[in-house]
Structure formats: structure tokens, C-alpha cells
Amino acid sequence: MRRDAGVVLHDGQPTACVADAAFAYVDAFRAHVDVGFFRGAEIADPDGLLEGNGELMRHVKLEPGRDVDARALRRLIETAYTDRRGRLDSSNGPLSRDHDRGSQRGAPRRR
């Protein structure tokens, strides 16, 4: 993990953040696990892993018996991190949209 990245619990899910700005999460369901990206619609996905059709969010669905290219998933996580880091660096201050803070419900809280 990058030095400036951390994991917090937000709405019950482990959420990866740069500072307090979330960029990815893990959500477990009965039959699958989602690795989600808060701005997934805006990041490059050359391997076509992302699913979903929301305005900003996308996810990779992990299911038993379904192969996922681990290297491609790692690249996607790195891309999401780099995107979030770049947005923070260019904003030089607090982010203006709740989407940038982790979810529509607000910023993740460190526990």
C-alpha cells in the first residue's frame, strides 16, 4: 500500500482512501464480492473489468468459479489511486463534491 493511502470502515465496508478522499471499496454479498471504485466511470479500464452504469461509480464483481485477471485488477486499483491522488494535488484544498469524499452520504470517518 502507498504511504499516503489508508483503509477506513465506511458504511460497513473497507474503503481505501488518500487522505480522507476515498477511491475504492470492498463490499461482500452472499454470492459475490465487489471491488468498487468511486470514480470508476472516469478511469481507464483497458482490460474491461468494470461493471455498472452509474454516473460515477463502477465495480469489479468477484464470484466463485469466475476467473479475474489479478494483474489487471491491481492495475485498476493503481489507476484509481493515481486518479484520486491527482485530483487532490490539483485541488490544493478540500474537495467540493460528496462523491469525491467517499460516497453520496459523506466522508469516511477514521476509527
Q: Looking at the predicted structure, is the pLDDT value of residue 108 above 60?
A: no
Coil/strand/helix, residue 77: helix
* Prediction pTM value: 0.78
Q: Looking at the predicted structure, is the pLDDT value of residue 106 above 60?
A: no
Band the pLDDT of 22: cuts 50, 70, 90.
very high
Mean pLDDT of 28-45: 97
- Residue-level pLDDT at 68: 93
Coil/strand/helix, residue 18: strand
What are the pLDDT digits (tens) for 37-66? 999 999 999 999 999 999 999 999 999 999
User: Residue holding cell 486499483?
Assistant: 77
Q: If residue 24 lies in a helix (H) or strand (E), which one and from where to where? A: strand 21-28
What letter does residue 4 receive in the DSSP assignment?
A: T
Q: Looking at the predicted structure, is the pLDDT value of residue 90 above 90?
A: no
Q: What does the DSSP assignment read for 41-59?
A: GGS--TT---B--SSS-EE
